[in-house]
Amino acid sequence: MRFKMLKSKRFSNYLVYATGEIILVVIGILIALWINNWNTEQQIERANRSLQDKVLAQLERDIISVDNFRKELDTLDHVYLKYLNRDYDEQKTVGKNVFSLILFEVTELGLDTQAINWIDNAKLEDSKTSEKLLDLSGMYKLYFKNINDIESIIYKKLTRNLEILEATQPWYTELITDFNCKTDCVTYLSGDVDHKARIASLRFLYIKGYGEIANGFSYDLKDIRSELQTLMRTKE
């Protein structure tokens, strides 16, 4: 057909025919690209919805964990107050070994980075919900850094307190080996002014340092949870 068109000098007709073929091919390619992009967008949207649901569920668990930790810190505070001969709630110190808590144990929050990993490794869609997820990841990272910093200070303080006992008290070996605190040990731990001052500093780190971080963390987690829930409902 093309040969006959050219042979019969109907080049203009052939050109129209060829152009039509090219246009059809281009339209077919564009349609295929559009379908592929639409499928990709649908996959990203489904993946983002699943991510949002997972992060929201993790957020709920973390809020519970942080609030439980705040209660632990409140109980710990009363243990310290009891040791420091201040007013305290006796109900919150029942069954607590005061000397063991203030000498050897570190109370820590212990959250994992699961939500951060999910968000940072996801292909996020362009939406306000995705922006809020990125805000959440950044907030987690900031609080985790602050938590790591205060825990490091507390560990160092606790270690330093033990080092002082190791260097100055003859009963230290029995205490650290057998966990047996006899009369001379009890007398020192209960009455030494310098030791009480060091324990008061440790309490300050917990209550004013760690406690304020935990309070702010709880507030910000609840605030961003509310914003995420609103954005997710709006999108529905």
pLDDT at 132 over 60: yes
Q: List, for residues 141-152, the tens digit of each pLDDT value.
A: 999 999 999 999
Decide which of 69 and 45 is more confident. 69
Query: What mean pLDDT, rounded, does the chain reach?
Result: 89
Q: What is the pLDDT of residue 7?
A: 53
User: Would you say residue 85 has pLDDT above 90?
Assistant: yes
The half-sphere exposure of 3 on its side-chain side, counting CA atoms within 13 A, is: 0
Rounded Cα–Cα distance for residues 228 and 208 (Å): 30
- Work out the average pLDDT over 167-190: 94
Mean pLDDT in residue range 195-199: 96
pTM metric for this prediction: 0.82
Closest among 106, 102, 108, 107 to 198, alpha carbons compared? 102
Q: Mean pLDDT throughout 113-138?
A: 92
